[in-house]
Chain A
Amino acid sequence: MVVGLEVHTELKTNTKMFCGCVNVFGAAPNTNVCPVCLGLPGALPVLNVRAVELAMAIGTALHSTISPSTFHRKNYFYPDMPKDFQISQYDLPINAGGYLDLPDGSRVTIERAHLEEDTGKSTHLGGSGRIHGADRSLVDYNRSGVPLVEIVSGPDIRSSAQARAYVAELRGILIATGASDGRMEEGSMRIDANVSVRKSGEPFGTRCEIKNLNSLRSLQRAIDFEAQRQADLLDEGGAVRQETRHWDENLATTSTMRVKEEADDYRYFREPDLVDLIPDLAWQQRVRDALGPMPAQRRSTLSARLDLPTDALLGAVEVVIDLGLDGFVNGAIDAGVAPELAIARAANELAASIDTLDNLTLASFVATLMMEQRGDLSATQAKSILLELLAAGGDPQAIAASKGYERLASGALGDLVATLIEANPDEWSRYREGDEKLAQFFVGQVMARTKGQANGKEVIAELKARR
Chain B
Amino acid sequence: MNSAEQIARDVQSGSMSATSVLQMSLDAIRARNEELNVFLYVDEEGAFETASSIDARIAKGEDVGPLAGVPVALKDNLCQDGIPTTCSSKILEGWRPPYNATVIDRLLAAGAVPVGKTNLDEFAMGSSTENSAFGPTRNPLNPSRVPGGSSGGSAAAVAADMTPLALGSDTGGSIRQPAALCGLVGMKPSYGLVSRYGLIAFASSLDQIGPLTKSVTDAAMLLEAIAGHDEMDSTSLAEPAPSLVAHVNDGVAGKRIGLVRELIDGADEDVVASVERAVEALREAGATIVELSVPEFRLGLSAYYLIAPAEASSNLARFDGVRYGLRVNEGDVTAMMEATRTAGFGDEVKRRIMLGTYALSAGYYDAYYGQALKVRTLTIDAFARAYQQADLLLGATTPSVAFEFGSKTSNPMAMYLSDVFTIPSNLSGEPAISVPFGTGEAGLPTGVQLLGPGRSEATLFAAARVLEIAND
Contacts and interface: CB of A to CB of B under 8 A. Distances in A.
Contacts of B85: 41
Interface size class of A (residues with CB under 8 A): 20 to 34
A85 interface: yes
Nearest to B85: A41
B318 A269 contact: no
Given A35-B99, A273-B234, A42 B337 contact: no
A341 interface: no
Contacts, number: 103
B314 A267 contact: yes
B317 A269 contact: no
B333 A44 contact: no
Contact of A44 (B196, B311, B334, B361): B196
Interface in A37-52: 38-47
A274 interface: yes
A131 interface: yes
Given A41-B92, A42-B197, A272 B232 contact: no
Interface in A79-99: 79, 82-85
A272 B318 contact: no
B322 A44 contact: no
Contacts of A85: 314, 317
A280 interface: no
Contacts of B87: 41
A270 to B, nearest CB: 8
B323 interface: yes
A293 interface: no
A47 B369 CA distance: 26
B360 A267 contact: yes
Interface stretch (B107-115, B198-206, B279-287, B434-442): B198-206
B58 to A, nearest CB: 32
B74 interface: no
A40 B232 contact: no
Contacts of B105: none
B324 interface: yes
A79 B233 CA distance: 25
A132 interface: yes
Question: Most chain-B Cβ atoms within 10 A of its Cβ — which of A77, A139, A267?
Answer: A267
Contacts of B361: 265, 267
B142 interface: no
B350 to A, nearest CB: 16
B367 interface: no
Contacts of A83: 317-318
Contacts of A40: 79, 97-99, 324
A274 B320 contact: no
B97 A139 contact: no
A82 B357 contact: no
Contacts of A269: 310-311, 314, 360, 365, 369
B128 to A, nearest CB: 23
Contacts of A273: 201, 204, 234-235
A131 B201 contact: no
A131 B334 CA distance: 10
A133 interface: yes
A269 B199 CA distance: 21
Majority DSSP secondary structure for residues of A touching B: loop
Contact of B333 (A46, A79, A82, A272): A79
B234 A47 contact: yes
A43 B357 CA distance: 22
Interface in B192-250: 196-201, 203-205, 231-235
Contact of A84 (B77, B232, B320, B357): B320
Nearest to A273: B204
Contacts of A82: 318, 323
B472 interface: no
B124 interface: no
B469 interface: no
Contact of A133 (B95, B231, B320, B332): B332
Contacts of B413: none
A137 interface: yes
Given A39-B318, A79-B322, 16 more contacts: A39-B323, A40-B97, A42-B79, A43-B197, A75-B317, A77-B337, A84-B317, A131-B332, A132-B333, A132-B334, A139-B322, A265-B361, A267-B314, A269-B310, A269-B314, A273-B235
10 contacts: A40-B324, A41-B201, A44-B197, A44-B234, A77-B334, A79-B333, A272-B205, A274-B234, A274-B235, A275-B235
Interface of B: 77-79, 85, 87, 92, 95, 97-99, 101, 196-201, 203-205, 231-235, 310-311, 313-314, 317-320, 322-324, 332-334, 337, 357, 360-362, 365, 369
Interface of A: 35, 38-47, 73, 75, 77, 79, 82-85, 131-133, 137, 139, 265, 267-269, 272-275
Q: Name the 8 nearest CB pairs between A and B, nearest first.
A: A84-B317, A272-B205, A267-B360, A272-B204, A41-B200, A42-B198, A42-B79, A79-B322
